[in-house]
Chain A
């Protein structure tokens, strides 16, 4: 058996991804504090700056002496380095819509919809060089439940906050 097949249903991946969502809550909370004292651009700029420094420190710890050949990727297309561009654009869009009639709850709910539709397309066609995966009925059911639950929490549970 290949490691790929084994890892496909490894619970560790699911727990890690779920925990990652928890990190996102922390991150949004901290960055929100920065934006509160400064502004949205300052918050994102600072987070990317301190993040870059933190990443360098972690790379130094984990890849001592092997950084040069790690960072200079072999075989990665240039566009694969543009995740940060997409992320920076996201910040600009959301700080615009949060201050529109949509407010935070509308921004979150619609962003969720955009994210989900894109992820289905990304798996279906293997967009940007990642493996193709055909979503099945179970995936769609799971997606429906998570979206409904999230919509409930965003629109009613957190009082539109």
Chain B
């Protein structure tokens, strides 16, 4: 069990590492180019892995609805947007907003499909997230920003 807990935490760390690396690459290229390499390198590695463990072409795959294949193209925009944001607002703010956006939209999706298990927990959770985002947006001078000047000009 301890092993699984460590692996699940490590997965989260690797999400951050991936975003950091893609952000660094996008600084030298562009967010879209960084997203391209992220997907191309990932595809190559998973192809090699698939040759060893098998299961790359499962028999039931043909029954998947057409829109299930949109995950990849959506992922391209997701990685590009994350790479774009992280070099501008930093890793903490990017993680915080993406997590918040994922949670709130997840709750909305649940509502559209079927009612969530607990309405109060979802509602209170969304309220906490929106509160946190408001705080992070209304920051003081220079807080968490690489340069201190000119905050007032853009507020």
A59 near B32: Cβ-Cβ < 8 Å: yes
Count of interface residues, chain A, beta-carbon cutoff 8 Å? 130
B133 near A94: Cβ-Cβ < 8 Å: no
Given contacts A39-B55, A116-B95, contact A55 B61 (CB under 8 A): no
- Across-interface contacts of A42 in B (CB, < 8 A): 55-58, 61
Interface string of B1-40 (1 = CB under 8 A from A): 1001101111111111111111111011110111111111
B11 near A159: Cβ-Cβ < 8 Å: no
- Alpha-carbon separation in the docked complex, A36 to B63 (Å): 10
- Alpha-carbon separation in the docked complex, A133 to B16 (Å): 15
Question: Looking at the complex, which one of B34, B37, B85 makes contact with A17 (CB distance below 8 Å)?
Answer: B85
B109 near A123: Cβ-Cβ < 8 Å: no
Quick one: which of A14-30 are within 8 Å of B by CB?
A: 14, 16-30
Question: Looking at the complex, which one of A84, A102, A111 makes contact with B37 (CB distance below 8 Å)?
Answer: A84
- Alpha-carbon separation in the docked complex, A83 to B47 (Å): 16
A30 near B68: Cβ-Cβ < 8 Å: yes
Quick one: which of A131-147 are within 8 Å of B by CB?
A: 131-136, 138-139, 141-147
- 8 tightest A-B contacts by CB? A21-B101, A159-B117, A114-B12, A84-B41, A145-B132, A149-B128, A50-B72, A30-B71
A138 near B147: Cβ-Cβ < 8 Å: no
Question: Looking at the complex, which one of A9, A22, A120 makes contact with B155 (CB distance below 8 Å)?
Answer: A9
Question: Looking at the complex, which one of A80, A97, A123, A132 makes contact with B28 (CB distance below 8 Å)?
Answer: A80
- Alpha-carbon separation in the docked complex, A145 to B145 (Å): 20
Question: Looking at the complex, which one of B11, B41, B65, B155 makes contact with A93 (CB distance below 8 Å)?
Answer: B11
Question: Looking at the complex, which one of B5, B40, B57, B128 makes contact with A84 (CB distance below 8 Å)?
Answer: B40
